[in-house]
């Protein structure tokens, strides 16, 4: 029933037109904790720039991070790059074909390994991501005792249901069902293809909402002629320390310890995991002091080079909103930038 429903109702996504293990791997890594709408455009650009595993392995890490900008969770890009190099060095450039072997690669975990192995190679192993967990829990009332089912229970139940003849299609169908029908807050049970088998049918226990924290931050946009040439403009950026817990090694605008006494040129809301940042951006001319921790790298980048630099998502958003940096295709078409909405200056 699920296998018949999937081809009719699956969203048309670029990585569903390929069986290339490399491209499936890229899409699965990008889809971890990032919305599908955001991934579509990034996946296309990434695979245009790095069309093969070898091209990714040979790339500079700075270039990989630059293309990852906007997807967040940059550690994924570093591990992806490390894994590509390892595959070239130790596997002759071809991804391993089983989930067990794939899991030995950097950044390939309990969800990604079965997804690649089943979709690309047909290994009969079930995928349990957040969507599948929700479907299984509701389908079989696995939290009827008020307890969240363990990872072991979920994997065992998913393996029992798996169609061994079409494991890749089955896994994608389960994930699609969770993403489009068995929605977190309001499941669309009346159009659900497994309604007759479901033990809860919308009578599930809602999960408590995650507490969102609000924070304020101020950044400086300082521009000046690049190397004295009035026809070229440069922007001052600072590099986050390699030891930073979030976005190590990425470039961002200088952060101000507190807002100066002038009107901001932009106000932006930016969401990162459980925090909402209300960010004010001020124009700088050397009068506003910048204090960065000792050892922090600062550099002037010509504006036309900004798309090649690994920027934080927030820096990228600010620079595009202020037309300092070119907007990618999806934003030019009028879609929102990932991670929040902005507001005009007061």
76, 81, 138, 317: which one contacts ligand SF4 (CB under 6 A)?
138
Distance between CA 167 and CA 54 in Å, rounded? 28
CB closer to ligand SF4 out of 23 and 134 = 134
In angstroms, the Cα distances linking 167 to 93, 128, 161, 306 are 25, 13, 10, 43
Query: Can you spell out the DSSP letters for 33-61?
Result: TS-HHHHHHHHHHHHHHS-SHHHHHHS-H
Distance between CA 177 and CA 127 in Å, rounded? 13
Show the DSSP H helices in the chain as ranges. Answer: 2-9, 21-31, 36-49, 53-58, 61-68, 75-90, 99-102, 112-121, 130-139, 151-161, 167-180, 313-321, 329-332
SS3 346: coil
CB closer to ligand SF4 out of 198 and 220 = 198
Per CB under 6 A, does 141 bind ligand SF4? no
Q: Which two tokens stand for residue 307?
A: 């798309």
What dihedral do alpha carbons 107, 110, 115, 120 form, nearest 10°? 70
Q: Which region holds residue 102: left if phi is over 0, alpha if psi is between -120 and 50, else beta?
A: alpha
Binding mask 88-127 for ligand SF4 (x = CB under 6 A): ----------------------------------------
Q: How far is the CB of 187 from ligand SF4 (least distance, A)?
A: 4
Per CB under 6 A, does 202 bind ligand SF4? yes
27, 172, 200, 218: which one contacts ligand SF4 (CB under 6 A)?
200
CB closer to ligand SF4 out of 183 and 336 = 183
75, 78, 91, 201: which one contacts ligand SF4 (CB under 6 A)?
201
26, 113, 139, 309: which one contacts ligand SF4 (CB under 6 A)?
139
CB closer to ligand SF4 out of 47 and 131 = 131
165 is an active site residue: no
Q: How far is the CB of 195 from ligand SF4 (least distance, A)?
A: 4
Per CB under 6 A, does 135 bind ligand SF4? yes
Per CB under 6 A, does 157 bind ligand SF4? no
Site residue total, ligand SF4 (CB under 6 A): 15
Distance between CA 319 and CA 38 in Å, rounded? 18
CB closer to ligand SF4 out of 1 and 336 = 1
Kindly give the pairing relationship between strand 251-252 and strand 229-239.
Answer: antiparallel
Distance between CA 10 and CA 12 in Å, rounded? 6
Per CB under 6 A, which of residues 9..38 are in contact with ligand SF4? none
Per CB under 6 A, which of residues 170..199 are in contact with ligand SF4? 181-182, 187-189, 192, 194-195, 198
Q: Which of 8, 28, 176, 242 is catalytic?
A: 28
Distance between CA 190 and CA 297 in Å, rounded? 56
Per CB under 6 A, does 321 bind ligand SF4? no
CB closer to ligand SF4 out of 200 and 312 = 200
Residue numbers at the binding site for ligand SF4 (CB under 6 A): 135, 138-139, 181-182, 187-189, 192, 194-195, 198, 200-202
Catalytic residues: 28
């Amino acid at each position: 029933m699920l296998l018949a429903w999937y081809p009719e109702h699956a969203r048309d996504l670029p990585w569903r037109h390929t069986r290339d293990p490399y491209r499936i791997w890229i899409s699965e890594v990008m889809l971890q904790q990032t919305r599908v709408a955001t991934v579509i455009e990034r996946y296309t650009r990434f695979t245009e720039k790095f069309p093969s595993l070898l091209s990714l392995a040979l790339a500079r890490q700075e270039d990989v991070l630059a293309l990852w900008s906007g997807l967040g969770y940059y550690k994924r890009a570093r591990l992806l790059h490390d894994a590509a190099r390892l595959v070239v060095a130790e596997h002759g450039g071809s991804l391993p074909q089983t989930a067990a072997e794939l899991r030995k690669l950097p950044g390939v975990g309990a969800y990604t390994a079965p997804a690649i192995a089943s979709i690309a190679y047909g290994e009969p192993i079930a995928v349990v991501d957040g969507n599948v967990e929700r479907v299984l829990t509701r389908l079989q009332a696995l939290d009827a005792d008020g307890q969240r089912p363990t990872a072991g229970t979920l994997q065992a139940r998913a393996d029992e249901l798996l169609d061994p003849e079409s494991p890749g299609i089955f896994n994608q169908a389960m994930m699609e069902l969770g993403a489009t029908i068995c929605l977190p807050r309001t499941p669309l049970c009346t159009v659900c293809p497994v309604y007759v088998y479901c033990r809860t049918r919308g009578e599930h226990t809602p999960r408590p909402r995650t507490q969102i924290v609000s924070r304020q931050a101020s950044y400086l946009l300082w521009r000046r002629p690049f190397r004295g040439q009035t026809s070229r403009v440069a922007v001052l950026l600072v590099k986050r320390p390699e030891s930073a817990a979030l976005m190590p090694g990425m470039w961002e605008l200088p952060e101000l310890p507190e807002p100066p006494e002038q009107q901001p040129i932009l106000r932006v809301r930016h969401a990162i995991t459980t925090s909402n940042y209300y960010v004010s951006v001020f124009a700088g001319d050397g009068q506003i002091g910048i204090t960065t921790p000792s050892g922090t790298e600062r550099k002037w980048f010509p504006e036309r080079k900004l798309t090649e630099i690994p920027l934080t998502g927030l820096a990228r958003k600010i620079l595009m909103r202020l037309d300092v940096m070119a907007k990618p295709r999806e934003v030019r078409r009028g879609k929102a930038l990932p991670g929040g909405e902005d507001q005009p200056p007061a």
